[in-house]
């Protein structure tokens, strides 16, 4: 976590906004695995990189 992020999470929890949002990059199919891996290495993904089979 970066500076101030823990205070932000504490405030969100106090206000009742307890669900955290997450982002992810999803690629479909086993054939896209290599492209997904290369995109991950290049930093082209957002959040987690998931290959859906």
List pLDDT tens digits, range 3-34.
656 667 777 778 776 666 778 999 999 999 99
Helix (H, G, I), strand (E, B) or coil at 20: coil
pLDDT band at 52 (very low <50, low <70, confident <90, very high): very high
Positions of E strands within the chain: 24-28, 48-52
How distant is the alpha carbon of residue 21 from its chain centre?
9
**pTM of the entire predicted model:** 0.58
């Amino acid at each position: 976590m970066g500076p101030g992020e823990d205070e932000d999470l504490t405030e969100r929890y106090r206000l009742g906004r307890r669900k955290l949002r997450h982002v992810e990059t999803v690629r479909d199919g086993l054939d896209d695995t290599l492209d997904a891996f290369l995109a991950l290495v290049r930093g082209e993904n957002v959040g987690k990189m998931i290959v859906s089979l």
